[in-house]
Structure 1
């Protein structure tokens, strides 16, 4: 039986919770932030404000910006409510963040009149319980459902019924539309005259792997064609590997911070490779001399062990924080782990 996968993504989750609880914020540019933007409301995004941006830069773009402090406990409680609601539909759920997840609805969809009807009921029920909107995508695998949920965001739904519909949609999009293609990788592809997804089709699987490595080359080939064999990992154990270091004398320069982060990354990456693991999430932890502790993380759509890709993400996280000194602790870790052999089995099927 062909799989039917749903991806839901809560719309501007943290900001939407604050707007729901404080109606005076409705239709106004607000961000949930400490020193760095965690979530921006949709009116704020119209000014070019986005997550990981410093609040100073955000204020420059929008002088009238409303900044709301982060209330992680409230957001976690709201997330739990949503997850419990989703689990009443099916146990075959993979939660990938506080505000999004994948559901395998293959076995239950026959109870509903149509995919469209199920999507509408799903969104309506979450809104009735939480007062929050979500965007929904349905597809034939994780890839197609994830891309579908972003098409009519916020508060909409879209369905890909087969590979042909997906390819018709994706082929004329910029190559950045494919999960796993970040800013730096996009620049590399552009230099090689690859600007749109359809530019990939002239290359064989082996050519792409030879040129960009098995991980990135393989994903370019498969994702451009709607191929994604990953299962919904609803029994996956949550684990992480990493390291942190406490400094007797606080770090007081960007050079020292970069040096220590590099060492922590190298140590964690060596463990990742030695244990033959792939990772989806990279995190950084910082504690200042006054004991204030902050952490930032970024989760990719796909797992990888590509050193260049992971280091690029770490650098983005570090740059977004603008650290200059007075740091007592630094940590780097990888989570959302998967055995590398699982990915290799998929790639071997394509040779």
Structure 2
């Protein structure tokens, strides 16, 4: 059996990450139902999940399901610090680490067999180190492919370890419900159920052409391949993100346009800082809004040249927010997000070459803004993300959700 045919991929996933950090840092919360975030649930402990509480659920619904829950505000500096510590353990375990969110990653450990031991032994040691050094529970799946490893870690939760050997893949996978399949949400699951497909075994027994009639050609090809254990994707290291974003779940209740602008400014500060930290610039900014009726809308604009300047993105974001103002006033707003895409590599010397098309901006102003951005970045790096805040945000509380990938720490390629 070749190395690619052995179970050497780990999917490591921190359990109820935000809530687990809160329980770690406050002993009074341990063993009790904890909800992070008020208006919208950002995370729930397993004690709260037992009552049906889930992430992205409205705060009122969560309170009805679990009236005994303890609601705590989000502390993103603590979550980032915990994520960095865990990813240091990942990278100390193997150089082949692919982070896919702030709290989970794939690790390829097949090449460590002679030096360290079998993949399962490595997974055991990894879980022990995360528990002892960071104080958090983590679930790990060990399998031949990324997809199987991810499913295995999900099945093993909470705080578990599951190894799927190559000879036992069908035995493990086929009895599971189709909802376990990577990429199957509520809508796709409903279509599959309507056609009599409820387990992954049911799915595997169908032909690709049959699935195409049910869920479409592309989705049918994807589901057919995974159900038949075909997933050739390797663990990718050094992958650069195509976009950088952040969002704030603000709950129900009318917000003034000035309040939304203040939240937007805080998000732009976070995103532009991460761009500069990764020596990247972008051209397209996208505004995402969710309304009281749970409908969503996006607005986007593209600048003539790539930039990493906070002021440029703030001006562009404010323009997009203004265009959406009638919808916000009509429907109310429960979430606001911002992301920057069209990313390119940049360097310190290039930071002066920022777009000069904005009204009232000249070369000198551009240089001064670049120096100001750099000074603020240094302050936040030394003293924490909350060391410098905009005056408009003083006294405000908003659950600002972290981007989908962890901050890589020191600049890396």
Mapping 1:203-222, distance limit 5 Å: 203-209=206-212, 211-222=214-225
2:294 corresponds in structure 1 to 319
Deviation at 1:73, TM superposition (A): 1.3
1:35 to 32, 39, 54: 39
Give the equivalent residue in structure 2 for 1:291.
262
CA contact (8 A) 2:143 2:149 kept: yes
**Contact 1:34–1:69 at 8 Å: present in 2 too?**
yes
Structure 2 CA distance for aligned equivalents of residues 192 and 325 of structure 1: 36
SS at match of 2:107: strand
Q: State which of 44, 48, 54 in structure 2 corresponds to 1:44.
A: 48
> Against the structure 1 CA distance between its residues 118 and 330, is the aligned structure 2 distance closer, same or farther, given a 3 Å change threshold?
closer
Counterpart among 5, 9, 12 of residue 5 in structure 1: 9
Q: Give the superposition deviation at 1:51.
A: 0.4
Question: Between Structure 1 and Structure 2, how many residues are aligned?
Answer: 278
1:53–1:320 contact (8 Å) kept in structure 2? no
The 1-side partners of 2:192 and 2:138 are apart by 33
- 2:19 is matched with 15
Q: CA RMSD in A?
A: 3.4
Preserved CA contact (<8 Å) 1:123 1:133: yes
Going from structure 1 to structure 2, the CA distance change for 1:97 and 1:241 (only over 3 Å counts) comes to closer
Displacement of 1:207 in angstroms is 3.5
Give TM-score scaled by structure 1 length: 0.71
- TM-score norm. by structure 2 comes to 0.61
Distance of aligned partners of 1:335 and 1:59 in 2 relative to their CA distance in 1, 3 Å threshold: farther
Q: Give the alignment partner of residue 181 of structure 1, picking from 181, 184, 190.
A: 184
Instruction: Assess, with a 3 A threshold, how the Cα gap between structure 1 residues 330 and 21 changes in structure 2: closer, same or farther.
Output: closer
Spell out structure 1 runs of 4+ moving beyond 4 A: 314-318, 323-337
Match of 1:166 among 165, 169, 182: 169
Decide whether the 8 Å contact of 1:208 with 1:217 is kept in 2: yes
Aligned-partner SS, 1:85:
helix
Asked if structure 2 preserves the Cα contact closer than 8 Å seen for 1:54 and 1:320, the reply is: no
2:88 aligns with one of 84, 87, 94 = 84
| Per-residue deviation, residues 229-263 of structure 1 (Å, max 9, x unmatched) | 11212111112289x9xxxxxxx99xxxxxxxxxx
Q: 1:267 aligns to what?
A: none
Q: Does structure 1 residue 198 correspond to structure 2 residue 201? A: yes
State whether structure 2 residue 139 is matched by structure 1 residue 135. yes
Q: Is the 8 A contact 2:174 2:199 kept in 1?
A: yes
Q: Does structure 1 conserve the Cα–Cα contact (< 8 Å) formed by 2:291 and 2:334? A: no
Q: How far 1:194 sits from its partner (Å)?
A: 1.2
8 A Cα contact 1:288 1:328, kept in partner: no
Cα offset, 1:116, TM superposition: 2.8
d(CA) in 1 for partners of 2:56, 2:341: 19
User: Residues 12 and 329 from structure 1, CA distance in 2 versus in 1: closer, same or farther, beyond 3 angstroms?
Assistant: closer
1:253-289: CA deviations, max 9, x gaps? 9xxxxxxxxxxxxxxxxxxxxxxxxxxxxxxxx9944
